[in-house]
Amino acid sequence: MDKTSLTTATLNTSDKADLICFSHLRWDFVFQRPQQLLTRCARDRRVFFIEEPVYGNGSMRLEVREADAGVHVVVPQLPEGLRSEIAINAVMKEMTRQLFIDHDINEYVFWYYTPMALTFTDHFNPIATIYDCMDELSAFKGAHSQLPALEKQLFHCVDLVFTGGQSLYEVKCKQHHAVYAFPSSIDAPHFRKARTAVADPEDQSHVPHPRLGFFGVIDERFDAGLLDNLAAKRPDWHFVMIGPVVKIDPSALPQRPNVHYLGGKKYDQLPDYLAGWDIALLLFARNESTRFISPTKTPEYLAAGKPVISTSITDVVRPYGQLKLVEIADDPDEFIQAAEKIFSTGDKSEWLARVDAFLEDVSWDKTWKQMSELLDDVVDRKRPVRSASLPLSKAGARANAAI
């Protein structure tokens, strides 16, 4: 294995155990739940974010870089010809072990976003294990057939399970003794910038008003048919779509003069785009892949001060629809009726006051604080027992930590 790309060891001077995260998402893809939580985690402990392998023509190696927030992003680089799952799991196990050695990782917590990582980590000995179940991954397009079985296995070995929404909690709470619901949260000050932003981004400035916008990943969860019908029925309205297109053919998306695809944008840019919208949209299809989603963009849109129309996604209906903070609509006529109601409402101050009152107690800082306290409780309970049974030397601890 070529180890020339491994960074030099960085010692952990904190008394906090290192956190090793296994994710199905790329760190640089879209800034969402994992990034929000782990950037906060990295303030007081080392965080290693291990992505799924990238296949290419280069040598087999492990690339480690430090992201802006201090998170160590770990990308396994594997040769294109290596496609046997048995071989990949063996290589991933060895690469993870080598990572521990090179970065002096001795006491550590495993944090899973994907049960698939269990295939190469089940022989390690973390002091605590967490499954942050942000979605029902088995319902997504292209999901591995082993996902349900591996998730069941993961439930048997983790200390804590966090869910990305209330509806997902209601399903998972019966499968483990320590399941906690942590619905989508928000960095409110970041998105409130949209209330005062004045400069329209160049690629949006030519789009006429009224503007109805969406940002997020455009995939099988996106209701392209609904967008097409809306654009056809109201050619005088303009629909701004921001986000990467994945797992679906871009040519299958509506192509109309009043639909504008602006591509993916950086997290820091989103408030500038939001500022120029008249209404924000949650255009999610109602299918198995959206049954348990808890869109982070719901509170983000609201913090930006934008009226929101959403399809009847359970975790949007409860609580946002029930509290009359978001309009709920499922067909084009309902969407148009909801939009016209918003356009005809002059003074939105009462609605905005209720939005701000609701969001006052919602933040990623508070979410991470609660998660961190639960994690620390587990570590504190297990540490005395663990320390009594483990070798005292660094070499011994390292040998125990990795295969």
* CATH code for position 58: 3.40.50.2000
- Domain check: are 201 and 272 in the same one? yes
Q: Which of 111, 99, 105 is nearest to 40 (CA)?
A: 111
- pLDDT of 54-103, one tens digit each? 998 878 999 999 998 899 999 999 998 887 889 999 999 999 999 999 99
Taking the CB of residue 376, how many other CB atoms lie within 10 A of it? 13
User: Do residues 127 and 89 share a domain?
Assistant: yes
Residue 34 has pLDDT above 70, yes or no: yes
Residues 373 and 353 grouped into a single domain:
no
State the pLDDT at residue 402.
39
The whole-model pTM stands at 0.88
Say if residue 207 is in the same domain as residue 328: yes
Q: Per the domain annotation, does 11 fall within a domain?
A: no
Q: Is residue 44 part of a domain?
A: yes
Position 224 scores a pLDDT of: 96
Q: Tell me the residue range of the domain where 216 lies.
A: 188-359
> In this structure, are 219 and 167 located in the same domain?
no
Average per-residue pLDDT for the chain: 91
Q: Which of 212, 223, 277, 216 is nearest to 243 (CA)?
A: 216
Q: Residue 169's pLDDT is what?
A: 97
**Structure confidence by residue, pLDDT tens digits, 373-391:** 999 999 999 987 655 544 4
Structure tokens at 84: 């046997």
- pLDDT tens digits for range 203-250: 999 999 999 999 999 999 999 999 999 999 999 999 999 999 999 999
pLDDT mean over 356-361: 95
What pLDDT is attached to residue 255?
Answer: 97
Q: Is residue 275 part of a domain?
A: yes
Q: Residues 179, 236: one domain? A: no
The per-residue pLDDT for 12 is: 52
pLDDT tens by residue, 178-211: 999 999 899 999 999 999 988 999 999 999 999 9
Is the Cβ–Cβ distance between 280 and 211 less than 8 Å? no
Say what the pLDDT of residue 289 is.
Answer: 86
Q: What is the DSSP string of 100-151?
A: HHHTT--SEEEEES-GGGHHHHTT---SEEEEEE-S-GGGSTT--TTHHHHH
pLDDT of residue 14: 65
Q: Does 292 share its domain with 372?
A: no
Task: Say yes or no: 256 and 127 in one domain.
Answer: no
Per-residue burial over 31-64, b if 16 or more Cβ lie within 10 Å, else e, is: bbbbbbbbbbbbeebbbbbbbbbeeeeeebbbeb
Q: How many structural domains is the chain composed of?
A: 2
The residue-averaged pLDDT of 323-329 equals 98
Is 57 part of a structural domain of the chain? yes
Same domain, 335 and 367: no
- pLDDT of 1 higher than 50: no
Q: Is residue 386 part of a domain?
A: yes
Residue 34 covered by a domain: yes
Asked whether residue 380 falls in the same domain as residue 347, the answer is no
Local structure of 308: helix, strand or coil: strand
Say what the pLDDT of residue 400 is. Answer: 39
Residue 311: count of CB within 10 angstroms of its CB: 21
367 and 307 housed in the same domain: no
Q: Does 8 map to a domain?
A: no
Q: What digits encode the pLDDT tens for the residues 269-298?
A: 999 999 999 999 999 999 888 999 999 999
- Asked whether residue 43 is domain-assigned, the answer is yes
In angstroms, the CA 45 to CA 19 distance is 7
Q: Are strands 18-22 and 47-50 parallel, antiparallel or unpaired?
A: parallel
User: 283 and 171: one domain?
Assistant: no
